[in-house]
Amino acid sequence: MINTLYLPELREMLAENDRTGLQEFCAALHPARVAEFMEGLDAGEMWQVLQATEPDVRADIFSFIEEAKQVEIVETVGPEGISRLIADMPADDRVDLLSEVDQDVMEQTLPLLPQDDRRETLRLLGYEEGTAGALMTTEVARLSQTLTVHDALEAISRQAQDLETVYYNYVVDEQDHLLGLVSARDLVVNFTRPDTQIGDLMQRDVVTVLVTDDQEAVAEKVANYNFIAIPVVDHHRKLLGIITHDDVIDVLQEEATEDAHRSASVDPLEDGYLETPWPELAWKRGVWLMVLFVAALLTALALRGYEEDFQKVTWLVLFIPLVISSGGNTGSQSATLVIRGLTTGDVRLSDWRRVIRKELAMGLCLGGSLALIGYACAVMLTRGAPDDAEAAQSIPTVWEVAVVPVTLLLVVMCGTLTGGLLPLLFQRMGLDPALMSNQFVAGVVDIAGILIYMTVAMAMVAGLW
């Protein structure tokens, strides 16, 4: 929802070309709040506000504007007007933005960047999307192990304005090979010992990620160690950059969104729901709907195979929804729990035996409980007052009604095992476990439920022998 609190004042200052007022407005608030209050402006008006601020403040505010609006501003203003702002952005944010704008705009903008920024941008653009290289920033504090605490603090203070973070400072040799890490806390604690060398303070066992590592593995490592940032190195342990916690949060949100889409049987969207064109949205939803349609059709074919049996024993039809929904629901629960466990690392492929034992126990517990309730409901539903002698003869015996609880127990056990094991199977095949959506699990269990139901019925109901 657009925050319109200061929108009238902003429009008034823009109409009067009040650059002083706009500058004071941008300086008085946190950059994120300024970006929030600008949401109601169009791209041209946003650029007018940004032009009234200092370059460093302008870059900070721009970083908090949503990506779609950033792209619109770049394409509206043009390469000549926007190149300075893009050069002032952190390297990783600059690369993300240029990856989204029109190809012609990017090609026109790159030559206008300072040589170092252009070379750095081209190098980061060369990394494969979804890897640590594409996620990292090269703006990192590098120190020599021969520096003293005093010299290190001076060096950091000189370059702090251009760094993503100064809390972690990395110790490297002349070829940029990573030797260790010294935090800002370590430097402050040893401020009273200014002649102490960095080599005596640094932590040598530094946790790193390779530039080719998947971004999801990077996010998991940062979360496990509670890091603010993590260094990115190549196979020779040369320091290439860092990935900061804000980028990790973005990755986690992106992965969670993809998993949510897949669990709902929707191919993950590249853009937001409202920004996605309806033909693309229809395709991403329709593909999986067709798969689920085929699964439902198989369920219908399974029912058709028992059409004559249902005509002989009509009361069996009453409990078909109860049977298949119980199995599908328990399967969806199991699938959701296992998929989430695989995502967080709580469940691994090697735990498949434990998953089987746990889901068997759950199937017995939940299936047994539903079976007791189902048996009582089945007895009541089949014991209505008969209208005539023929109807009275069709009332099932207590033994025959037991088809319902027996089936419920077996179907629920089938559902828990199917929902628990299919995500593990997908991961073993190298596929995303989230592809095993709840609807897909329910479709599989529906077919199995019909087969189990009729197999039990044929064994226990006299009219079907």
Q: What is the DSSP secondary-structure string of 414-434?
A: HHHHHHHHHHHHHHHTTS-GG
pLDDT of residue 384: 60
Cα–Cα distance between 231 and 169 in angstroms, integer?
10
Strand order in the sheet with 209-210: 209-210, 229-233, 239-244
Pairwise CA distance, residues 234 & 236, whole Å: 5
Q: What is the DSSP letter of 66?
A: -
Going from the first residue of the chain to its last (465 residues), give the mean pLDDT of each consecutive group of 10, the final group possibly shorter: 78 90 91 91 91 90 91 89 89 88 89 89 88 89 91 88 85 93 91 90 92 90 89 93 89 82 78 82 85 83 82 86 90 89 86 93 94 91 60 71 93 93 88 74 87 89 70
Is residue 85 situated within a structural domain? yes
Please check whether residue 80 lies inside any domain of the structure.
yes
Indicate whether 12 belongs to any domain: yes
Indicate if 146 and 123 belong to the same structural domain: no
Integer angstrom CA distances of residue 363 from 330, 357, 410, 411: 8, 10, 8, 9
Look at the block and give the residue holding tokens 């990783």. 92
| CATH number of the domain residue 345 falls in | 1.10.357.20
Looking at beta carbons, which pairs linking 286-294 to residues 24 or more positions away fall under 8 Å? 288/437, 288/439, 289/265, 291/265, 291/440, 292/265, 292/439, 292/440, 292/443
Query: Can you give the CATH number for the domain in which 59 is found?
Result: 1.25.60.10
100 and 245 share one domain:
no
Q: Are 325 and 456 part of one and the same domain?
A: yes
Residues 176 and 46 grouped into a single domain: no
Q: Are 291 and 360 within one domain?
A: yes
Looking at the structure, tell me whether residues 160 and 118 fall in a common domain.
no
Contact 203, 194 (CB under 8 A): no
- Using CA atoms, how far apart are residues 308 and 387, in angstroms rounded to an integer? 24
The answer on 344 and 239 residing in a single domain is no
Same domain, 148 and 102: no
- Token readout for 84 is 């300075």
Residue 184, C-beta contacts closer than 8 angstroms, at least 6 positions apart: 156, 166, 167, 168, 169
* Domain tally, the chain: 3
Distance CA 303, CA 319 (A): 13
- Strand locations in 12-141, DSSP E? none
267 lies in a domain? no
CATH number at residue 171: 3.10.580.10
Residue 186: alpha-carbon gap to chain centroid: 35
Residue 134 domain-assigned (yes or no)? no
Looking at residue 398, what is its pLDDT? Answer: 84
Residues 434 and 360 in one domain: yes
Last residue of one domain, picked from the residues 234, 260, 286: 260
Tell me, yes or no, whether 349 and 289 share the same domain.
yes
43 and 185, same domain (yes or no): no
Tell me whether residue 114 is in a domain: yes
How many Cβ atoms are within 10 Å of 104's Cβ, its own excluded?
Answer: 10
**What is the spatial distance between Cα 135 and Cα 129, in angstroms, rounded to a whole number?**
8
Of 128, 157, 179, which one is at a domain's C-terminal end? Answer: 128
Pick the last residue of a domain from 232, 260, 288: 260
Nearest to 417 by CA among 341, 332, 359, 330: 359
In-domain check, residue 170: yes
pLDDT of residue 216: 86
Q: How confident is the model at residue 404, as a pLDDT?
A: 92
Q: What pLDDT was estimated at residue 385?
A: 46
Residue 133 belongs to some domain of the structure:
no
Q: What is the CA radius of gyration of the chain?
A: 31
Domain span at 78:
7-128
CA dist., res. 325 & res. 327, Å (int): 5
Which pLDDT value is given to residue 2? Answer: 67
296 and 416: one domain?
yes
